[in-house]
Amino acid sequence: MTVTTRIHAILDELTRNTDRIDDAQLDAIADEIAAANHIFLAGAGRSGIAIAIARFASRLMLLCKSVSIVGETTSPHSAAGDPLIIGSGSGETASLVALARKAKATGDRGNLRTPTGHLQDHPRHRPHHR
């Protein structure tokens, strides 16, 4: 496969995935982020989600949002209504599922981002490979 063929395959996949985006879902989470006093982020897995979460945290800070990554020593205690955004490729990482359940039980806004969309206040079904 040539480089050009690979680039076209990537662009085709991006186009197919773009067609699956639900603007109303993204607007809901964007509104929640904009209104939040503090945002908590968590992620794990070998797919690099933890790194992506750290990058997302940096972007939120550039927007002057108060943000913490769960587990860091400087993370403050959460308050009811604080959004918790969790990235998980499988949606089955035990520590992240437990975190999402605890957040929902205590009134935080738990959002475990998974292919299946379970345990979410704003379910997001991300395209993924099989």
Choice between 122 and 63, residue whose per-residue pLDDT is larger: 63
- Tell me which range, 23-32, 94-103, 119-128, is most confidently predicted by mean pLDDT: 23-32
Over residues 79-102, the pLDDT tens digits come to: 777 888 888 777 777 888 888 888
Q: What is the pLDDT of residue 47?
A: 60
- For residues 8 and 23, what is the distance between their CA atoms, to the nearest angstrom? 25
- pTM of the complete model: 0.70
> Which are the contacts of 67, defined by CB distance < 8 A and separation ≥ 6?
38, 39, 40, 41, 57, 60, 61
